[in-house]
């Protein structure tokens, strides 16, 4: 409805703005409203830079970390529980000290963050694929398919992430016996996280799809004769990705926290392949004995990582919400 | 009840709560007391807790020496016949008299279907009541250690059990719980007045106890707290009088904290590493077609690759005694004759090269992570040490439930290399030999806990001799011989006896027994 | 004395890079009991005037210059609190969309009472009484009962009456009505306009009516202000301005308004408003791809024959058939569309006209009846290949230019998609060439292909839609309200374009609209629909001059009279 | 209304049945219960006999049917660890969990709603930005970590509040025990409910803020302002009430989540509720407790959803009152 008072103004602003010559894709992005709102929020810029640094440190861990905490041949139990360098009895090799196995905590945090992030990304990705596909199908097809998928989602919602992970861990343990936990823990975590997160995507995508499918561009595509699958993927999907991006960002943070919690409960990554959560869980045992750094530094790293990702997600949600612009 | 009275009641409850606190002793343990039936579960904490309400014919003192309890004395009147003279005038908590009938009943019940303590009394032993206060146990062969575990073979009241239809041992398949698993009626120094499994158990002093009470607490409250940190926090914040076990790393903090002290001492449990020496091809390994652990050199290399001192210092914070044999020195007189092989990674490498593994090999290791003191950390340290001699260890640390399901007979001994701990319940070496060191078949017949399945006929032979040998000196000689065979061949890699660490408030006096049993009759609150 | 006096009003919206002047140095006055209409197209700044008067400019908009007087008292510079007390008390406001203007969770009564008691010192009893009186006054029957109900229990027209009652709660001296009837059907619109006029006179209220609709202006206003891009271009008595416009913008605007009383061949081209009007590169249809190889089967007689068409939707599903509820959207409808003609379907919202379009194109499957396209029965097509062949022959142009194009695709891909999908061109470069030609042909120019839809205005987007529809080389084109979301001047251009294309390509068209005036300009024959039924089918002129069905007569009577409007520039057919 | 309620009930039943099937099949594969029930000294023959007695060797469908029919009568079997009927164990634990969940939900709502309203109405103010940032920290720290830090600070260092358990409880009625009526019970509630409620509080605050931001942009709020209504009326009577409609759904869902997340809090604070029972059951492969817990949480969740649906009827007249 073009005659609503304030939108009229906005439309006019836009119409006149488009008269300016637009050059190149990059400059268009730099010129976009989203990028502008990004720059306007200083805290978001800081969060983005911090996130980028943390991501780089994690993914470049093998190159930037002073030690390799997974190379058992280089760690020595005799270096266990060395405090950070500004404390007494410290060792200049270990800036943030070492954990109970003599692993350098700083390197451990880099590697741990890498594991946390990989698990986060993989599970978010898997959940998104599953949720988006089911959401698209449910929203587009409607009827029985829709109610079936949504009933499944209801059942799924009955089990919060923690329960699902405990369940899946249990099933996996049952099926694979005691097979190499180092190997399986990783996949178990991803599957459990993905299975607990997909509902959100499915519900959101379904909702948006139901809106989008009634829009005339979809009807136009149908009138042309384009098959449903292509309509879903080519036409609807790109238009529902906005909220999906928001959910994905926030989910990444949630996945990292949930993974940490699972590790704390003992069903996450094993101490030989520690994620941030595992590091905290290990350190928790040393909190009262004065070796606080084993828990606190990974805890801070986790909080920092999640906080920054959440900040980005927060901003993205507001920036992409058309109702708030 | 209207609101006002509710609040009033609340105030009253709060009031009486604080008044009673003076004589109340509160403690926490990491596990919970699941059922009260003393024959349902053969597990240290359960037996230890129930031992405050129930008593056996014998009991063990602060130094673990066997003392008379419900039996005033006993004698072996024939090689196969033991006679027990029962204490007179003892009453159960419900007022019933303790008589020979109760002993005979208990001896039958402890061997009945569903009991987890069937080994306390040999299956073919007969119980004969001589008179109200005399009982004979007739065996099919000589057994010098018949009564060694009887401190945890608790005597139950036949009359009470029959009245309450609890003669059958509580079994997991019963849909209605056995009366005896929810209530206790023993002769011991404390009565169990309320029991909420997994939440709280309250004991009260038994004023009619037959022995002279050396303790001064009237009420004991037990809460299970599985989390180490929470348990320690509860002690540090003064909410509890005693918690156990405490993590070794918190000993210092507890000692430094005003009002609490850590009580440490040796435990009888021996922690050791075992290796699969039975399969022809090792599981979870990159070595195909053969089993490296069948080669003594490999076992010896593993042994010498492990820096036991580092584990003691860094992992156990000195709360462990490195051990050369599979039993605590407190339980075996000739233990000083054994010495651990030295830590020598160079030699270990050499031995591996000689065995044909110059670059080492990969092996999976199974480890519990909530069973023994710092079990997972020990395994990690071992893995790191082995990495230094070229052996890559894939560590699989799991909660004890899953761990045991995998490595024990029920899981088909599905392990190549594992960490296990063992306390001989009878506090005697025969238990170690027969459980850990005899040959076994694939079903576990023989030594069911010889998970690696090594088989040495000589050890088996010596075990049989030990069982029937009455002369202590000769018996110890036979045992030492068996241990030497194991030591020489490195069938096992014993690590250490782990220590006990209890956290106690300053104003409490109690006795920390090396079998990790906690007896309220030793508690004094100042 | 003037109730409202606006002097040199300038409203600015600071944007990121520049300041957008929404209203530029505007003067206008309203007297008590009179209605001033502010008319203009999108972006004219007419709503901004209303918002500036009542002090509800959206941030960061602000009055940059000028004064606003109410009864001679300056009000634009009052502190917030006093300004708030003016709202409702002295100035009432009516918004466009009655469906969203009322709080869905409060009864009508509580919304009225809270407003009354905010402004008048009445007890809640008295306020309730007054609320009932107001509801009665705006013509809602059973006021005493209805007042206890929630907004969703009222129809759209009734809700707008409630909104008017709310605006009148405290007997304001001035009422600002921002597009008060735009969201309403023709018949309701007439009633609401009548009510407004009546209230205005009875209560001696000054009224500022903001609208894009010349019909509304002609119907009720005493004075009119014509705005264009923030400027007041013409101001005066309504009869004067509409009958003899002076400013060229007003002239072209008036000439672009479709009117039911005059049939024109083509609308005058209003270059004043949008440049991209005519094809930029002439293509020879007879040799071009667009006109070539129309290898469709030859048909004698009507191209489309619809018989007994039925469509019902399940409103509430249930596993028990007796529990299901249906809505009958189309009831036993039958008509023919001859080759080469434009058949018009007209009716109010919910009459089922759009459903028929969707049934023909196969977006819905009818629950009964037959649709014969040429010699093919569409309802019994199952073979995917046959379905595609049919789809190719008929295309559709939709109402909403904003949602009918996929915002994430480039214009070139949007138009190229059907060509590629139906394999109508042999190579990608050919597709590209065709797309460029199509863009040229609809008057956008080939360079438009690389852009995204949001970079175009509504009219331009509708041209893209048309190009896409042409890309399958259809013989039958369905236009579902193609211009109802557009400004009149743009509407005129699009209608011209459609006419041209039909002529060039020999298209058969089904033209759907709620606007009788537009229908009259476009169609050869017309069907009138109401509640899913087809009331009447007749020739265009006959329908307007001699309607048969009472509903048709009613519709024609309700149309705002356009007789005031100047007839300059019109080539009458 | 009745039709609506029945339809929802039928759906709920189907959900419960599916959950039962899932719970059953999943747990049938977890670990080996026998190992948990006996000491490690028990022989293989005895294990086999026990397996047979427990019906663990029966065909799976038979086991499932037995499971469902018993569960319908609140008979979840006997706990392997405790050798007590699971239903009795839960009866004792449910009050603890519900009191904790209720208190933290109350805390989350009582703090989250005002904060959300404030942040929604004053989008640009420093305080709302602070609320947002602080609340982000709240959701960025894992619950267990917050719990540990709180214990460290308030129990161990300051010794103000207890670090574990429920304190003194009072029996109310035949089976409900409450910690609300004693000083120590109330003190014991503080840390766990703050830990548990923090995350939900953050969510509710952010949700209210977001909804507020959307609602205050709607036409009816603009119209309310145009009628000159004072801000208080506009914000609270119109905006807030409309905000609450979606908030109720999410709060309902969150209530379910609180009960599930109580597992972690109960672990950290050794709170004798059903979450702790469940976690210990997982560690000890106590199948009957695990399946009962899943069914119970699913039941609570479904029940809460049902109540939320009914609540909608009372809050939103569009559902309650038909069109003319």
Chain A CB within 8 Å of residue D148 CB: yes
Does the pLDDT value for residue A176 go beyond 80?
Answer: no
Average pLDDT of the segment spanning B425-446:
87
Strands B362-368 and B392-398: parallel
Residue B245 has phi, psi (to 5 degrees) of -75, 165
Residues C433 and B268: their CA atoms lie apart, in Å, by 90
Verify whether the Cβ–Cβ distance C97 to A1 is below 8 Å.
yes
Chain A CB within 8 Å of residue C257 CB: no
Domain C304-402+459-542 CATH assignment equals 3.40.50.620: no
Verify whether the Cβ–Cβ distance D223 to C166 is below 8 Å.
yes
Domain-terminating residue out of D10, D37, D72: D72
CA distance D234 to chain C (A): 10
Same domain flag for D6 and D92: no
Same domain flag for D57 and D180: no
Q: Name the token pair of A305.
A: 């990582």
Peptide bond into C60 cis (omega under 30): yes
Verify whether the Cβ–Cβ distance C43 to A11 is below 8 Å.
yes
Q: Is residue D41 part of a domain?
A: yes
Residue D149: is it exposed, middle or buried by C-beta count within 10 angstroms (0-12/13-18/19+)?
Answer: middle
- Top residue of A5, A10, A20 to mutate, by most chain C CBs within 10 Å, is A5
For position C87, what pLDDT does the model report?
86
Question: Which residues in chain A touch residue B402, judged by CB atoms under 8 angstroms apart?
Answer: 173, 178
Scanning every residue of chain C, which has its alpha carbon at the shortest distance from the alpha carbon of A236? C406
Same domain flag for D42 and D113: no
Chain D CB within 8 Å of residue B250 CB: no
Does the pLDDT value for residue D72 go beyond 60?
Answer: yes
Nearest CA among C530, C488, C155, C517 for reference residue C349: C530
Chain C CB within 8 Å of residue D233 CB: yes
Scanning every residue of chain C, which has its alpha carbon at the shortest distance from the alpha carbon of A14? C455
Residue B20 confidence class, pLDDT cut points 50, 70, 90: very low
Residues B292 and C40: their CA atoms lie apart, in Å, by 93
Q: Is residue D82 part of a domain?
A: no
Verify whether the Cβ–Cβ distance B173 to D43 is below 8 Å.
no
Chain B CB within 8 Å of residue D116 CB: no
Same domain flag for D266 and D182: yes
Same domain flag for D188 and D266: yes
Q: Is residue D13 part of a domain?
A: yes
DSSP of A259-280? HHHHHHHTSSS-TTS--HHHHH
Check if the interface score ipTM surpasses 0.85.
no
SS3 B433: helix
Q: Name the token pair of A287.
A: 């909190």
Q: Is residue D293 part of a domain?
A: yes
For position D300, what pLDDT does the model report?
83
Q: Is residue D324 part of a domain?
A: no
Does the pLDDT value for residue B491 go beyond 70?
Answer: yes
Same domain flag for D52 and D160: no
Cα-Cα-Cα-Cα torsion C44, C45, C47, C50, nearest 10 degrees, comes to -140
Same domain flag for D34 and D161: no
Chain D CB within 8 Å of residue A151 CB: yes
Domain-terminating residue out of D72, D102, D134: D72
Same domain flag for D91 and D43: no
Nearest CB among D133, D144, D260 relative to A160 is that of D260
Higher pLDDT, D231 or B302: B302
Beta bridge partners of C26: C9
Q: How many domains does chain D have?
A: 2
Question: Which residues in chain D touch residue B32, judged by CB atoms under 8 angstroms apart?
Answer: 81, 280
Residues A128 and B346: their CA atoms lie apart, in Å, by 53
Does the pLDDT value for residue B492 go beyond 90?
Answer: yes
DSSP of A102-129? S-BHHHHHHHHHHHHHHHHHHHHHHHHH
Same domain flag for D120 and D183: yes
Find residues 47-86 of chain D whose CB sits inside 8 Å of chain C. none
Least confident piece of the model among A28-37, C486-495, D281-290: A28-37
Find residues 309-338 of chain B whose CB sits inside 8 Å of chain D. none
Average pLDDT of the segment spanning C417-445:
88
Q: Is residue D55 part of a domain?
A: yes
CA distance A310 to chain C (A): 27
CA distance D193 to chain B (A): 16
Scanning every residue of chain C, which has its alpha carbon at the shortest distance from the alpha carbon of D223? C101
Scanning every residue of chain D, which has its alpha carbon at the shortest distance from the alpha carbon of A156? D19
Scanning every residue of chain D, which has its alpha carbon at the shortest distance from the alpha carbon of B182? D84
Does the pLDDT value for residue B1 go beyond 80?
Answer: no
Same domain flag for D55 and D129: no
Q: Is residue D78 part of a domain?
A: no
Domain with residue D200: its CATH number is 1.10.3720.10
Say what percent of chain B tops pLDDT 70. 94
Does the pLDDT value for residue B6 go beyond 50?
Answer: no
pLDDT tens sequence across C19-76: 888 898 999 999 988 999 999 887 788 888 988 888 888 878 888 889 999 888 888 8
Nearest CB among B170, B172, B226 relative to D54 is that of B172
Residue D130's domain comprises 87-319
Q: Which residues of chain C are in CATH 3.40.50.300 domains?
A: 304-402+459-542
What does the mean pLDDT of chain A come to?
78
For position B382, what pLDDT does the model report?
94
Strands C2-14 and C342-347: unpaired
Output helix, strand, coil percentages for chain B, rounded to the nearest 5.
Answer: 35, 25, 45
Domain-terminating residue out of D47, D72, D97: D72
Does the pLDDT value for residue C300 go beyond 60?
Answer: yes
Does the pLDDT value for residue D321 go beyond 70?
Answer: no
Nearest CB among B253, B393, B414 relative to A178 is that of B414
Question: Which residues in chain A touch residue D136, judged by CB atoms under 8 angstroms apart?
Answer: 307, 310-311, 314
CA distance A188 to chain B (A): 15
Same domain flag for D60 and D97: no
- Top residue of B13, B17, B176, B199 to mutate, by most chain D CBs within 10 Å, is B199
For position B190, what pLDDT does the model report?
94
Residue B97 has phi, psi (to 5 degrees) of -80, 150
Residue A149: is it exposed, middle or buried by C-beta count within 10 angstroms (0-12/13-18/19+)?
Answer: buried
SS3 C564: coil
How many Cβ contacts (< 8 angstroms) between chains A and C?
119
pLDDT tens sequence across C267-295: 776 555 545 445 556 667 667 777 765 66
Question: Which residues in chain A touch residue C61, judged by CB atoms under 8 angstroms apart?
Answer: 9
Nearest CA among A267, A181, A193, A167 for reference residue D30: A167
> Measured in whole angstroms, how far is the alpha carbon of residue C552 from the centre of its chain?
20
DSSP state of B409: G
Chain B CB within 8 Å of residue D269 CB: yes
Same domain flag for D103 and D58: no
Q: Is residue D79 part of a domain?
A: no
Task: Give CA separation, B418 vs B174, B290, B376, in Å.
Answer: 35, 19, 11
For position A143, what pLDDT does the model report?
80
> Measured in whole angstroms, how far is the alpha carbon of residue A277 from the centre of its chain?
15
For position C387, what pLDDT does the model report?
85
Does the pLDDT value for residue C16 go beyond 80?
Answer: no
Question: Which residues in chain B touch residue D192, judged by CB atoms under 8 angstroms apart?
Answer: none
pLDDT tens sequence across B286-314: 988 899 999 999 999 999 999 999 999 88
pLDDT tens sequence across B311-348: 998 888 888 999 999 999 988 989 999 999 999 999 99
Say what percent of chain A tops pLDDT 70. 81
Find residues 47-76 of chain A whose CB sits inside 8 Å of chain C. none
Residue B16 confidence class, pLDDT cut points 50, 70, 90: very low
């Amino acid at each position: 409805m073009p005659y609503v008072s304030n939108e009229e103004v906005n439309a006019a602003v836009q119409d006149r703005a488009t008269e300016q010559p637009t050059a190149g894709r990059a400059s268009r992005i730099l010129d976009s409203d989203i990028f502008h709102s990004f720059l306007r929020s200083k805290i978001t810029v800081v969060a983005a830079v911090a996130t980028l640094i943390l991501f780089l440190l994690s993914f470049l861990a093998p190159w930037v970390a002073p030690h390799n905490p997974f190379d058992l041949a280089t760690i020595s139990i005799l270096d266990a529980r060395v405090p950070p360098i500004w404390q007494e009895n410290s060792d200049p090799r270990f800036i943030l000290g070492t954990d109970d196995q003599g692993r350098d905590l700083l390197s451990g945090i880099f590697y741990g963050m890498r594991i946390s992030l990989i698990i986060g990304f993989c599970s978010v990705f898997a959940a998104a694929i599953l949720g988006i596909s089911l959401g698209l199908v449910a929203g587009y097809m409607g009827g029985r398919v829709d109610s079936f998928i949504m009933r499944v989602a209801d059942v799924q919602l009955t089990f919060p992430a923690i329960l699902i992970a405990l369940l899946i861990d249990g099933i996996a343990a049952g099926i694979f016996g005691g097979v190499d936990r180092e190997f399986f823990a990783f996949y178990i975590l991803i599957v459990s996280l993905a299975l607990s997160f997909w509902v959100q995507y499915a519900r959101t995508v379904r909702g948006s799809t139901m809106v989008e499918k009634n829009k005339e561009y979809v009807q136009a595509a149908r009138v042309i004769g384009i098959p449903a699958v292509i309509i879903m993927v080519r036409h609807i999907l790109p238009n529902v990705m906005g909220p999906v991006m928001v959910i994905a960002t926030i989910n990444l943070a949630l996945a990292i926290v949930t993974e940490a919690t699972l590790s704390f409960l003992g069903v996450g990554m094993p101490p030989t392949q520690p994620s941030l959560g595992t590091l905290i869980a290990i350190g928790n045992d040393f909190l009262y004995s004065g070796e606080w750094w084993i828990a606190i530094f990974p805890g801070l790293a986790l909080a920092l990582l999640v906080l920054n990702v959440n900040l980005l997600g927060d901003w993205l949600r507001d920036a992409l919400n058309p109702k708030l612009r | 009840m209207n609101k006002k009275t509710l609040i009033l009641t609340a105030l009253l409850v709060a009031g009486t709560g604080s008044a009673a606190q003076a004589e109340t002793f509160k403690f926490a343990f990491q596990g919970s007391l699941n059922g009260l039936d003393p024959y349902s579960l053969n597990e240290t904490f359960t037996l230890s807790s129930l031992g405050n309400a129930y008593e056996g014919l014998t009991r063990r003192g602060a130094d673990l020496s066997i003392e008379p309890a419900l039996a005033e004395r006993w004698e072996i009147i024939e090689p196969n016949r033991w006679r027990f003279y029962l204490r007179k005038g003892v009453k159960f908590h419900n007022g019933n008299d303790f008589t020979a009938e109760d002993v005979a009943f208990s001896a039958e019940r402890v061997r009945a279907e569903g009991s987890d303590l069937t080994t306390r009394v040999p299956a073919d032993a007969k119980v004969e009541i001589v008179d109200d206060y005399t009982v004979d146990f007739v065996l099919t062969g000589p057994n010098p250690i018949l009564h060694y575990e009887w401190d945890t073979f608790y005597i139950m009241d036949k009359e009470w059990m029959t009245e309450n239809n609890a003669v059958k041992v509580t079994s997991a398949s019963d849909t209605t719980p056995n009366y005896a698993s929810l209530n206790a009626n023993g002769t011991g120094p404390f009565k169990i007045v309320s029991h909420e499994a997994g939440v709280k158990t309250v004991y009260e002093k038994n004023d009619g106890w037959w022995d002279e009470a050396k303790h001064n607490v009237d009420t004991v409250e037990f809460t299970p707290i599985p989390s180490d940190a929470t348990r320690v926090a509860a002690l540090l914040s003064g909410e509890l009088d005693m918690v156990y076990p405490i993590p070794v790393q918190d000993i210092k903090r507890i000692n430094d904290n005003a009002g609490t002290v850590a009580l440490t001492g040796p435990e009888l449990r021996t922690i050791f590493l075992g290796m699969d020496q039975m399969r022809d091809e090792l599981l979870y390994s990159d070595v195909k077609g053969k089993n490296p652990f069948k080669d003594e050199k490999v076992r010896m290399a593993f042994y010498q690759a492990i820096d036991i001192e580092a584990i003691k210092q860094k992992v156990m914070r000195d709360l462990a005694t490195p051990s050369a044999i599979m039993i605590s020195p407190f339980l075996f007189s000739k233990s000083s004759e054994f010495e651990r092989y030295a830590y020598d990674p160079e030699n270990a490498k050499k031995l591996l090269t000689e065995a044909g593994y110059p670059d080492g090999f990969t092996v999976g290791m199974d480890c519990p992570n909530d069973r023994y003191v710092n079990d997972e950390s020990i395994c990690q340290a071992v893995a790191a040490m082995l990495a230094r001699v070229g052996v890559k260890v894939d560590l699989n640390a799991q909660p004890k439930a899953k761990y045991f399901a995998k490595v024990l007979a029920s899981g088909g001994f599905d392990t190549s290399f594992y960490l296990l701990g063992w306390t001989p319940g009878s506090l005697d070496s025969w238990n170690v030999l027969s459980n850990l060191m005899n040959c076994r078949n694939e079903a576990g017949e023989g030594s069911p806990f010889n998970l690696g399945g090594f088989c040495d006929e000589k050890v088996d032979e010596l075990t049989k001799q030990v069982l029937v040998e009455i002369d202590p000196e000769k018996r110890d000689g036979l045992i030492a011989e068996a241990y030497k065979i194991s030591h020489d061949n490195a069938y096992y890699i014993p690590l250490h006896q782990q220590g006990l660490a209890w956290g106690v408030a300053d104003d409490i006096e109690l006795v920390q027994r090396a079998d990790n049993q906690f007896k309220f009759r030793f508690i004094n609150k100042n | 004395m003037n109730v409202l006096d606006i002097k040199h009003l300038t409203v600015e919206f600071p944007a990121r890079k520049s300041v957008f002047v929404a209203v530029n140095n505007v003067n206008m006055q309203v007297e008590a009991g009179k209605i001033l209409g502010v008319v203009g197209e999108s972006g004219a700044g007419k709503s901004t005037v209303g918002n500036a008067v009542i002090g509800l400019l959206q941030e960061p908009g602000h009055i940059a210059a000028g004064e606003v007087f109410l009864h001679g008292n300056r009000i634009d510079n009052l502190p917030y609190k006093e300004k708030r007390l003016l709202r409702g008390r002295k100035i009432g406001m009516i918004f466009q969309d009655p469906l969203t203007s009322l709080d869905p969770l409060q009864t009508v009564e509580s919304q009225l009472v809270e407003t009354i008691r905010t402004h008048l010192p009445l007890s809640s009893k008295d306020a309730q009484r007054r609320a009932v009186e107001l509801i009665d006054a705006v013509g809602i029957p059973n006021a005493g009962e209805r007042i206890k109900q929630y907004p969703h229990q009222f129809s759209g027209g009734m809700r707008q009456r409630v909104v008017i009652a709310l605006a009148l709660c405290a007997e304001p001296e001035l009422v600002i009505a921002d597009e008060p009837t735009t969201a309403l059907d023709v018949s309701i619109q007439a009633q609401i306009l009548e009510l407004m006029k009546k209230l205005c006179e009875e209560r001696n209220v000054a009224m500022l009516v903001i609208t894009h609709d010349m019909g509304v202006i002609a119907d009720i206003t005493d004075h009119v202000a014509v705005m264009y891009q923030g400027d007041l271009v013409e101001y005066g008595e309504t009869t004067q301005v509409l009958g003899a416009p002076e400013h060229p913008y007003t002239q072209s605007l008036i000439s672009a308004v479709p009117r039911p009383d005059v049939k024109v061949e083509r609308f005058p081209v209003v270059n004043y408003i949008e440049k991209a009007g005519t094809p930029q590169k002439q293509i020879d249809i007879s040799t071009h791809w667009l006109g070539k190889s129309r290898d469709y089967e030859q048909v004698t007689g009507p191209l489309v024959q619809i018989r007994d068409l039925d469509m019902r939707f399940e409103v509430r599903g249930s596993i028990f058939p007796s529990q299901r509820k249906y809505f009958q959207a189309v009831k036993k409808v039958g008509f023919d569309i001859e080759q080469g003609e434009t058949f018009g379907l007209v009716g109010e919202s919910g009459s089922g006209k759009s459903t028929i379009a969707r049934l023909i194109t196969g977006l819905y499957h009818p629950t009964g009846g037959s649709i014969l396209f040429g010699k093919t029965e569409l309802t019994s097509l199952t073979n995917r290949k046959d379905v595609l062949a049919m789809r190719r022959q008929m295309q559709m142009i939709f109402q909403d230019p904003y949602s009918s194009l996929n915002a994430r695709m480039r214009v070139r891909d949007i138009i190229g998609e059907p060509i590629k999908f139906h394999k109508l061109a042999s190579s990608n470069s050919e597709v590209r060439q065709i797309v460029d030609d199509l863009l040229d042909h609809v008057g956008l120019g080939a360079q438009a292909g690389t852009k995204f839809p949001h970079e175009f205005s509504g009219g331009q987007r509708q041209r893209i839609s048309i190009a896409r529809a042409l890309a399958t080389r259809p013989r039958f084109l369905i236009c579902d309200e193609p211009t109802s979301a557009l400004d009149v001047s743009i509407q005129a251009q699009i209608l011209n374009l459609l006419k041209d294309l039909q002529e060039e390509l020999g298209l058969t068209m089904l033209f759907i609209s709620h606007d009788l005036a537009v229908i009259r300009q476009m169609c050869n024959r017309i069907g009138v629909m109401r509640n899913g039924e087809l009331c009447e089918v007749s020739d265009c002129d006959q329908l307007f001059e001699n309607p048969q069905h009472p509903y048709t007569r009613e519709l024609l009577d309700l149309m705002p009279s356009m007789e005031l409007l100047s007839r300059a520039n019109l080539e009458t057919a | 209304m009745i039709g609506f309620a029945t339809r929802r009930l039928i759906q709920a039943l189907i959900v419960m049945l599916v959950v039962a099937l899932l719970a059953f099949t999943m747990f049938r594969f977890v670990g080996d219960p026998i190992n948990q029930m006996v000491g490690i000294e028990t022989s293989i023959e005895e294990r086999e006999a026990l397996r047979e007695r427990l019906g663990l060797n029966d065909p799976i469908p038979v086991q499932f049917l037995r499971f469902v029919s018993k569960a319908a009568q609140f008979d979840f079997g006997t706990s392997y660890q405790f050798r007590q009927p699971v239903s009795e164990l839960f009866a004792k634990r449910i009050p603890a969990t519900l009191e904790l969940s209720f208190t933290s939900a109350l805390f989350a709502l009582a703090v989250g709603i005002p904060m959300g309203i404030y942040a929604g109405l004053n989008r640009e103010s420093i305080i709302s930005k602070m609320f947002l940032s602080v609340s982000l920290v709240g959701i960025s720290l894992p619950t267990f970590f917050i719990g540990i830090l709180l214990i460290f600070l308030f129990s161990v260092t300051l010794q103000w509040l207890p670090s574990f358990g429920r304190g003194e409880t009072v029996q109310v009625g035949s089976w409900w025990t409450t910690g609300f009526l004693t000083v120590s019970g109330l003190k014991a509630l503080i840390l766990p409910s703050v830990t548990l409620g923090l995350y939900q509080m953050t969510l509710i605050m952010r949700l209210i803020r977001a909804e507020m931001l959307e609602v205050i942009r709607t036409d009816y709020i603009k119209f309310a302002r145009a009628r000159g209504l004072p801000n208080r009326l506009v914000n609270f009577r119109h905006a807030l009430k409309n905000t609450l409609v979606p908030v109720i759904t999410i709060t309902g869902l969150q209530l379910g989540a609180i009960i599930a997340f109580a597992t972690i809090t109960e672990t950290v604070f050794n709170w004798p509720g059903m979450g702790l029972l469940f976690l210990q059951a997982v560690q000890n492969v106590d199948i009957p407790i695990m399946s009962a817990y899943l069914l119970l949480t699913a039941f609570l969740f479904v029940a809460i959803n049902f109540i939320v649906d009914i609540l909608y009827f009372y809050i939103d007249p569009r559902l309650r009152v038909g069109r003319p």
